[in-house]
Amino acid sequence: MILLLGSTGYVGNLFKQLLNSKSVAWTSVSGRRFCFSGKTELIKDLKDFKVSFVINCAGYTGKPNVDACELDKGNCLDGNAILPAVIRDVCGELGIGWGHVSSGCIFSGERPDGGGWREEDAPNFSFRRPPCSFYSGTKALGEEVLGWKETDNGEEWPKWDHESEPEGFVWRLRIPFNEIDGPRNFLSKLQRYENLLQARNSLSQLDDFVKACWRCVEDKVPYGIYNVTNPGSVTTSDVVELILKHGVNNKDYKFFENEEDFMEKAAKAPRSNCVLDTTKLEKSGINLRPVEEALEWSLKNWKRENT
């Protein structure tokens, strides 16, 4: 039996569909109550349902975007840092594996060598390395409470200490999208925002992300952190060109002059724009479509909201 936390959310709903398609038995409960009741309630649920693995899609992202987290820091901290700690402790006590949906938003830019950030790199967009949004700070803290911490390796960029990795997966999602129009879909957001910020990013096609995470469980790949993004990176204008190419939305897209202009006119909190390296996941035998191919497919098969 799989315990799926956050089954009604943007990511959790796709996990639910995948498990159903594979006839995998699963159940869901509210993760929020574990932030307040602590371990007791979760232990009871795991035993009562005879759970063999926990998938945590619960978290707090803020609506309509991460700026809302700046105004609701208590719930943001509970959902993104306290809940993962409770899950880790209880699953460790009962010997149950777990997978936690994290975020690539704990990084900014690219590595000093020009490549994407790797799993062993310590976040550079976090409470330890400000400035950052409160959302990104709590997501980085969530990874720390799952068992990783910075170590001084004498290099310019610190690394995560992996000497005692916990019995679970940390799956890093990054700017999710798919072919279904909706408020959480990156492709939908680009069409609805009045002005856009030009930046280069890694992205996660949501169906590819969920399938890859489940492959980790099915194939029993080694526990640890995995950047689960579609290989490659794109700029905002690259994606806009594809939207126009496929005739999904032919509006006149406008851009902010620069990040300072964006922060002054449209945002309360800094934004993470970054590139992640996917070599570790690929070496495990799990390959996602290149990001350009995933974008092309999603736009060719675009389904508008309420149609």
Burial of 151 (0-12, 13-18, 19+ CB in 10 A): middle
| Contact of 51 with 45, CB cutoff 8 Å | yes
For the chain, percent of residues with pLDDT exceeding 70:
91
Does pLDDT of 125 surpass 60?
yes
**Identity of residue 82:** I
Average pLDDT over residues 146-153: 72
pLDDT, residue 305, reads: 73
DSSP per position, 77-112: HIIIIIHHHHHHHHHHHHT-EEEEEEEGGG--B--T
The model's pTM: 0.94
Does pLDDT of 307 surpass 60?
no
Which residue do the tokens 């916990």 mark? 166
Confidence band for 154, pLDDT divided at 50, 70 and 90: low
Per residue in 61-118, pLDDT (tens digit) is 888 788 888 988 998 999 999 999 999 999 999 999 999 999 999 999 999 888 999 9
Q: Which domains does the chain have, with CATH numbers?
A: 2-179+201-234+272-289 (3.40.50.720)
Confidence band for 165, pLDDT divided at 50, 70 and 90: low
Per residue in 39-69, pLDDT (tens digit) is 888 898 999 999 999 999 998 888 878 888 8
Per residue in 101-117, pLDDT (tens digit) is 999 999 999 998 889 99
Confidence band for 153, pLDDT divided at 50, 70 and 90: low
Which residue do the tokens 């799993």 mark? 119
Q: From the CB of residue 287, how many other CB atoms can be counted at a distance below 10 Å? A: 14
Q: Please, what is the average pLDDT of the chain? A: 91
Does pLDDT of 229 surpass 60?
yes
How far apart are alpha carbons 97 and 90 in whole angstroms? 10
Does pLDDT of 157 surpass 90?
no
How far apart are alpha carbons 251 and 167 in whole angstroms? 48
Does pLDDT of 166 surpass 70?
no
Does pLDDT of 217 surpass 90?
yes
pLDDT, residue 106, reads: 96
Does pLDDT of 162 surpass 70?
no
What is the crossing angle of helices 291-300 and 236-245, to 10°? 30
**Identity of residue 84:** P
Per residue in 248-285, pLDDT (tens digit) is 999 999 999 999 999 988 888 889 999 999 999 999 99
